[in-house]
Structure 1
């Protein structure tokens, strides 16, 4: 074996709680690195986690479609105490016990935006911030028929303590609109911004193909 060759993989050793609240707890995770050295990592974990195999939450990516209108991404704006600022995000929420993924996405969409939609795609379980904690979510693409009567004048039904503004942003203008919001001090959720970048790159590739 070469001198710099990795001898083994990282291995979990133990986890110890430091403090615990209603929704989250702080703990230390001890593990061994590839060289066999024991290390300690501070982590934040959800107390509501059902199992390691199921997601904690769903994140809806709602696309509003309406005849003779540009397709829009439905976003929400709300104050987030940890960052001391308003944030623009996708509708999202924790999974209730024994709740189906699709039903959770539809429920959160209705509660936070007032819209009803149809689930089009469900992602695998994804990590929201693996360097900080173990929170996981599934990303759910939802299509909203804006011509349906129930979607004409949607009214959000947020939980007590939630104050949400619904934003319908044309997909073609999403990246620029997010940059405009950011310039005013609003924090953009990284998932939303990544989605906007992907849309912009797709448009550029399509233009390049048309011009070739």
Structure 2
């Protein structure tokens, strides 16, 4: 057995929705005792650090029900079953911003909340964006407004908690480090 590994001996699915599934896993702990783990299963997501010719970060503002407020984020979205993350990243960039790119570079992947969820976000970068000739229809239940920000403007919005999510904070830090080269 691997150090700290917990062996699942029973899984009960409590809820299965369009986006997430809630499982209760019964586990045997490394010391032989047992416990329960509440787990959110998520298909994964993508996010795109898209930068204009002027060096501005392309973001979208949208209402986030869990926080009961609008926040400003980099374009992102959920993976469909079996979907390639790069394909999804391009789709989300196009749907949410009206921009497309022939040059998406994979940066990294990270877990959003590994204490209770298996959601992984695949992060891409492009500074080769161009407006689409025909604007695509977004998701019917998603209302977004595009905003372009300098790194300094984005940092100010972080302080105001208008930018308040990990993927966008990561994007701002990435841009600062990239610009420092």
Give me the TM-score of the superposition, normalised by structure 2.
Answer: 0.81
| Counterparts of 2:177 and 2:123, CA distance in 1 | 20
Change (3 A) 1:191 1:27: same
Is residue 173 of structure 1 aligned with residue 153 of structure 2? yes
| Counterparts of 1:177 and 1:143, CA distance in 2 | 22
Query: 2:56 is matched with which residue?
Result: 72
Q: Secondary structure at the match of 1:131?
A: coil
Query: 2:51 is matched with which residue?
Result: 63
C-alpha deviation, 1:37, in angstroms: 2.1
Q: List alignment gaps of at least 5 residues for structure 2.
A: none
| Counterparts of 1:60 and 1:120, CA distance in 2 | 8
Contact 1:119 1:140 in 2 (8 A): no
Give me the TM-score of the superposition, normalised by structure 1.
Answer: 0.71
C-alpha deviation, 1:112, in angstroms: 0.3
Is residue 25 of structure 1 aligned with residue 21 of structure 2? yes
| Counterparts of 1:156 and 1:144, CA distance in 2 | 19
Contact 1:123 1:140 in 2 (8 A): yes
Query: 2:168 is matched with which residue?
Result: 192
Is residue 36 of structure 1 aligned with residue 32 of structure 2? yes
Q: List alignment gaps of at least 5 residues for structure 1.
A: 1-6, 50-55, 207-212
Query: 1:122 is matched with which residue?
Result: 106
Query: 1:158 is matched with which residue?
Result: 138
| Counterparts of 2:103 and 2:84, CA distance in 1 | 12
Write the deviation string for residues 141-193 of structure 1: whole angstroms up to 9, x where unpaired: 12234xx5x36x9856321011101110012432123324x2xxx35112212
C-alpha deviation, 1:118, in angstroms: 3.3
Q: Secondary structure at the match of 1:87?
A: strand
C-alpha deviation, 1:200, in angstroms: 4.6
Query: 2:4 is matched with which residue?
Result: 9
**Alignment coverage as a number of residue pairs:** 179
State the structure with more CA Rg: 1
Query: 1:45 is matched with which residue?
Result: 41
How much is the aligned-residue C-alpha RMSD, in angstroms?
2.8
